[in-house]
A and B are shown apart, each in its own frame.
Chain A
Amino acid sequence: MSVLTRSRDLAGAAAAPAGAARRMRWWTPYAFLAPYLLLFVVFMVLPIGFGLYTSLHEWDISLPAKPFVGLANYAELFDPASVDGSRFWTAMRATGVFTLFSVPLLILLPLFAALLMNGRFRGRNLYRAVYFAPYVLGVAVVGFVWRYLLDGNIGLINHYLGLDVQWTTDVPPAWIALVGVTVWWTLGLNAVIFLAGLQDIPRELYEAAMVDGAGPAARFRSVTLPGLRPVMVFVVNATILASANMFGQSYLITAGAPADQTKTAIYLIAETGLRRFDMGSASAMSFILAGFLMCASALVFGAFRDRRTS
């Protein structure tokens, strides 16, 4: 039966291109692609090149002269004694601190939540919907609500914990606040992705492991974790990128306070390029940040490489 269907699929796959080739004019596929490719070229391909070009110039949108300066923008950023350089590395440090503390929590807690919800029981979809709900709200709403709850004088958090902590203007409390809010906001996103991954693991693997006498811990190690590997690579990577792009929480809750210590790199890039219009320096910053992010992605892919095939 399965052999039969497979051979029919093969025949279908072979016949389709021949039939398509007969009827299709050569330009038809390009006509299908053209509207998207126009957007893609103008707002995706062109900007990458244009950004590099900008980073090699002294570029102020309001000045007619945009002199070529070579790598001077980069050199200034790599000089920690310069004003721009010290600002930039303070911001890179903020991005690094936030990413370092938020990513492990945003992997472990959602994985735990997904394991709890992985099973058929009444109300499962309701729990899933509740945990996911904050994520649909967007950072502006989340920022306002938590700015209120974390208010040092009238906030519920200090009130219920009996504390007198300035969550929005002191470090390290500000870091705890920013990481905590982000975990609350996006936990559900990673949890539903893990949950979908868990449900794709074939039941037979668990049954086989049980026949072999594997307990729950052994089944988790030998079936669940390997089965989640592709999902894990995706989630870790996407979470690192999202954390390293953290902007709204810092903008709305701490406004970078105290003394720009919670001002993240992307926040500084936006302020430098789009408020002070020093676009050459801001572009250079964005390429340095992107370099770090691509290294992080490469490390993640390396760490989760399938050891059986390599």
Chain B
Amino acid sequence: MTAPAPRRVRRALLHLVLAVVAALYISPLVYMVLTSFKTRGAAGSTEPQWIPSPATLDAYREILNSPDSPILTWFANSLIAAVGHAALVLLTATPAAYALARLRFRGRSTIFAVIVATLFVPPVVLLIPNFLIVNELSWVDSLPAVIVPAAAGGFGVFFLRQFFITLPAELEEAAELDGADRWRIFTSIALPLAKPALVTLFLLSFLTNWNDFLWPIYVLLSPDSLTLPAGLGNFQSANTIRYDLLMAGAVIASLPVILLYLVAQRWVIEGISRSGLKG
């Protein structure tokens, strides 16, 4: 009966530390959301206020209607790009990962070794040449430029291969005895089992693309072709800083990922925390 007391104190202390830090941690985001409902004057005041009084939708109205910031177009562009990119990653990486994990063929280990080796190539060396290649394809200033090139990264193949390797061989053998060909075995046995891994990869690819910043600000140029981060980035540097508008824009840009995070938090965290460890 004597041991639990200090342990309870320790546990309470742990909770106190974790809770205080968590509150501080999240406060910048709370301030962002609250500021987006402030008037221009309140957002730029030297006496910072937390609770907007009066609370107003002026910032949202202004940023949604300003011709300098076609934010709904940017939003649509971002959505098309992120969904298109994630879909392209799944469509190309899944069969490739399956072949590398489950099929025997000449050159398999070499191909896999080359793909893994490129995971160690600093992406900065791809920046200039990929711009030139995208330019050759006439994709500069259009969405394929932010959808396609990044899908060449080896991460998706590496991630899914780790999963396919763990599938028990018996299931495939049974299907083979029934006369199924490889494509059928892949689509009817391996794919359904891989669903959790596929969902995780889709989410991670969507998030990465939605948040991507450097590449879109240089490869997308005209106001109507920008993604949200790129559009807001230009918007900031082009204007005397209007924090009410910026915070409203930031809230709009965060909404989809925050919703996704609330719904699929476990999958995102598990996927990210496990992705680099095996292999």
For B141-182 the 0/1 string (1 means CB < 8 A from A) is 000000011111110010000000000111011001000011
How many whole Å from B9's CB to the nearest CB in chain A?
14
Q: Which residues of B contact A125 (CB under 8 A)?
A: 266
A215 within 8 A of B: no
Which of the segments A42-50, A81-89, A100-108, A206-214 contacts the partner chain? A42-50
With beta carbons under 8 angstroms apart, the residue of B214, B217, B230, B276 that contacts A193 is: B276
For A224-239 the 0/1 string (1 means CB < 8 A from B) is 0000001100100010
How many whole Å from B150's CB to the nearest CB in chain A?
8
With beta carbons under 8 angstroms apart, the residue of B115, B269, B277 that contacts A230 is: B277
Q: Which residues of A contact B100 (CB under 8 A)?
A: 33
Whether A32 lies near B96 (C-beta < 8 A) is yes
Identify whether the interface residues of A are mostly helix, strand, loop, or mixed.
Answer: helix
How many whole Å from A58's CB to the nearest CB in chain B?
14
Q: Which residues of A contact B238 (CB under 8 A)?
A: none
CA–CA, A51 and B132, complex, Å? 9
How many whole Å from B16's CB to the nearest CB in chain A?
11
Q: Which residues of B contact A184 (CB under 8 A)?
A: 25, 28
Whether A255 lies near B32 (C-beta < 8 A) is no
Whether A17 lies near B276 (C-beta < 8 A) is no
How many whole Å from B279's CB to the nearest CB in chain A?
10
CA–CA, A290 and B118, complex, Å? 13
Whether B250 lies near A145 (C-beta < 8 A) is yes
CA–CA, A121 and B29, complex, Å? 26
Whether A127 lies near B18 (C-beta < 8 A) is yes
A178 within 8 A of B: no
A-B contact count (CB 8 A): 296
B46 within 8 A of A: yes
CA–CA, A149 and B48, complex, Å? 10
CA–CA, A36 and B124, complex, Å? 21
Whether B126 lies near A36 (C-beta < 8 A) is no
CB nearest to B44 among chain A residues = A154
Whether B229 lies near A234 (C-beta < 8 A) is no
Interface residues of B in 249-279 (CB under 8 A from A): 249-250, 253-254, 257-258, 260-261, 265-266, 268-270, 272-274, 276-277
Contact flag A116-B17 (CB < 8 Å), given A35-B95, A184-B25: yes
Interface size bracket, A side = 35 or more
For B174-212 the 0/1 string (1 means CB < 8 A from A) is 001000011100100000000000000000000100111
Which of the segments B55-63, B65-73, B239-247 contacts the partner chain? B239-247
Whether B92 lies near A39 (C-beta < 8 A) is yes
CA–CA, A123 and B31, complex, Å? 24
How many whole Å from A132's CB to the nearest CB in chain B?
6
Whether A241 lies near B122 (C-beta < 8 A) is yes
Contact flag A46-B133 (CB < 8 Å), given A16-B169, A234-B277, A248-B213: yes
Q: Which residues of B contact A222 (CB under 8 A)?
A: none
For B53-91 the 0/1 string (1 means CB < 8 A from A) is 000000000000000000000000000000000000001
CA–CA, A251 and B99, complex, Å? 42
Whether B96 lies near A33 (C-beta < 8 A) is yes
A24 within 8 A of B: yes
CA–CA, A238 and B265, complex, Å? 22
A302 within 8 A of B: no
Q: Which residues of A contact B246 (CB under 8 A)?
A: 144, 147-148
Whether A192 lies near B265 (C-beta < 8 A) is no
A289 within 8 A of B: yes
CA–CA, A122 and B182, complex, Å? 47
With beta carbons under 8 angstroms apart, the residue of A148, A196, A290 that contacts B277 is: A196
Contact flag A270-B214 (CB < 8 Å), given A29-B108, A33-B99, A130-B25: yes
Q: Which residues of A contact B108 (CB under 8 A)?
A: 29
Q: Which residues of A contact B270 (CB under 8 A)?
A: 196
Q: Which residues of A contact B22 (CB under 8 A)?
A: 126-127, 130-131
CA–CA, A24 and B22, complex, Å? 55
Q: Which residues of A contact B122 (CB under 8 A)?
A: 241, 244-245, 286, 289-290, 293-294
CA–CA, A184 and B98, complex, Å? 38
CB nearest to A267 among chain B residues = B214
CB nearest to A19 among chain B residues = B176
The 8 closest A-B pairs by CB, nearest first: A138-B211, A140-B229, A47-B129, A43-B152, A32-B99, A36-B96, A29-B105, A196-B273
Taking Cβ atoms with an 8 Å cutoff, the residues of B that contact A are 11, 14-15, 17-19, 21-22, 25-26, 28-29, 31-32, 35, 44-46, 48, 91-93, 95-96, 98-100, 102-105, 108, 111, 114-115, 118, 120-133, 135, 148-154, 157, 168-170, 172-173, 176, 181-183, 186, 207, 210-214, 217-219, 228-230, 232-233, 236-237, 241, 243, 246-247, 249-250, 253-254, 257-258, 260-261, 265-266, 268-270, 272-274, 276-277
**23 A-B pairs (CB sep. < 8 Å):** A20-B176, A35-B91, A35-B92, A42-B152, A44-B118, A50-B132, A51-B129, A116-B18, A132-B269, A137-B211, A137-B257, A138-B212, A140-B230, A147-B246, A193-B273, A196-B273, A200-B277, A245-B123, A251-B217, A273-B127, A274-B128, A290-B124, A294-B120
Q: Can you add 4 more A-B contacts, CB < 8 Å, to A15-B173, A43-B152?
A: A121-B14, A192-B273, A248-B213, A290-B125
